[in-house]
Amino acid sequence: MTYESDLLRLLEERGHLHQITDPGALDALAAKQVVTGYVGFDPTAPSLHIGNLASIMLLKRLQQAGHRPIVIMGGGTAKVGDPSGKDETRTMLTEERLAANVASIEDSFRNILRFDDGETGALLINNDDWLSKLGYVELLRDVGPHFTINRMLTFDSVKLRLDREQPLTFIEFNYMIMQAYDYLVLSREYDCRLQLGGSDQWGNIVNGIELNRRIDGREVYGVTAPLITRADGAKMGKSVDGAIWLNEEQLPAYDFWQYWRNTDDRDVGKFLRLFTDLPLDEIARLETLEGAEINDAKVVLANEVTKMVRGEDAARTAEATARETFAGGGAGEDLPTLSLGDEGMRIGAVLTGIGFCASGGEAKRKLAEGAVKIDGDAVRDPGHVVTVSEGETLKLSLGKKKHGLLTR
């Protein structure tokens, strides 16, 4: 389908489109007026990760196309827990923990979206503002009749758990009702006509659309982005060392930058379209590079994403650290650092203390493999005590990609 609106054209050419509830009607609406759209994020951790970045980019594209994005912090829905894509019940978080997570996450959006009083300025709203004030009997009476158990059982988020004979609690079963109610509130209070999200949210989005139609007789729309996987089949947002967090407190800028720098050659073009604002013709040029030159495109990718998420200084420092560490054989200032004290430290404790290994057992295996080096010299003895002289700095390496500094 050929789209008339800048919004759907932009989403399509950048690789963000997977499903649309009514493409023709949404395209016509977006072509003639400013559309308000939202994405919800449950604050289940102190930071979002790069899997969430795909959804933030949907809001960024919405704003770039001349429309108004709303960020919904799920302070209310997170008290219940989204069962979508989960094999087991989420851990229940206290209100204090949820509030702290919301405060910690907010800057990620402010770095990427434009928040102002203009017609297309982004809004950040917490659904706890209305969900926690909603009476249970009121919810059952006003919203409950529009949901059937038969239909709810057909959604993947429910079927997955039941098919695997995993428990699905009653409180989780209510999640889709609460999220649908969010859309009703946003439609009424903010003239919101569009919900966006990942493909796993399709069922929840459709529920909200149906609720708006049944209660208010209003047509609203939904768009989902495809599940983003790497060329190796792994889900976007994870690495062998865990989630790739957006916040500096959860993941240093150098490690964030390095994740993108290590992108598979086959993913460079796709990630440049999805996660940067580079012109499409420049991306087309970069993804045709081959051999060692493809590394130049990966550096561009790492710089652009890090600059957007962490700021220009973080990107510049991370690139300089990588250049000095890998090309110059030195040790850049942005590497993780561990102080060993006057007595030194056994190499196994060094590896776990700096975060390169999760346990002493893993450290022993890496030592036996010859993967550990100090200033370029291999260390294999698990009993080796590392000492650092006053004013000296040693470079610790685990394999080719993990590097750190050891000081006194």
Phi first, then psi: what are they for 250, rounded to 5°? -95, -20
Query: What's the CATH number for 252-327?
Result: 1.10.240.10
Distance CA(91)–CA(80), nearest Å, equals 9
With both helix axes pointing from N to C terminus, report the angle between 294-310 and 253-261 in degrees, rounded to the nearest 10: 150
Q: Where in the chain is the domain with CATH 3.40.50.620?
A: 6-225
Question: Do residues 198 and 227 make contact, with C-beta atoms less than 8 angstroms apart?
Answer: yes
67 in the Ramachandran plot: left (φ > 0), alpha (ψ -120 to 50) or beta? Answer: beta
Q: What architecture does CATH give domain 6-225? A: 3-Layer(aba) Sandwich (3.40)
The confidence score (pLDDT) of residue 332 equals 54
Q: Where in the chain is the domain with CATH 3.10.290.10?
A: 337-407
The confidence score (pLDDT) of residue 400 equals 72
Distance CA(252)–CA(284), nearest Å, equals 30
Q: Where in the chain is the domain with CATH 1.10.240.10?
A: 252-327
Distance CA(371)–CA(222), nearest Å, equals 49
Split the chain (408 residues) into runs of 10 and give each run's mean pLDDT: 96 97 97 98 93 96 98 89 50 84 94 96 96 84 82 73 72 80 97 96 92 96 93 71 86 91 93 97 94 92 97 94 67 72 86 87 90 86 86 80 81
The confidence score (pLDDT) of residue 360 equals 86
Picking from 36, 29, 41, 21, the residue whose alpha carbon sits closest to that of residue 5 is: 29
Question: Per DSSP, which regions of 312-362 are E strands?
Answer: 337-339, 345-346
- Name 245's bridge partners: 49
Question: Per DSSP, which regions of 25-84 are E strands?
Answer: 36-41, 68-73
What's the angle, vertex CA 244, arms to CA 15 and CA 398, rounded to 5? Answer: 125
Question: Do residues 182 and 176 make contact, with C-beta atoms less than 8 angstroms apart?
Answer: no
| Assessment of whether the complete model's pTM goes beyond 0.95 | no
CATH class entry, domain 337-407: alpha beta
Burial track 364-376 (b if 16+ CB lie within 10 A, e otherwise): eebbeeebbebee
Tell me the residue type at 379: V
Cβ atoms < 10 Å from Cβ of 394:
19
Question: Do residues 30 and 6 make contact, with C-beta atoms less than 8 angstroms apart?
Answer: yes
**Integer angstrom CA distances of residue 327 from 253, 322, 324, 330:** 19, 8, 6, 8
Helix (H) or strand (E) holding 146: none
The confidence score (pLDDT) of residue 391 equals 67
> What does the block give as tokens for 366?
């890496």
Phi first, then psi: what are they for 43, rounded to 5°? -80, 70
Counted residue by residue, the chain has a size of 408
Based on the number of CB atoms within 10 Å of its own CB, is 215 exposed (0-12), middle (13-18) or buried (19 or more)?
middle
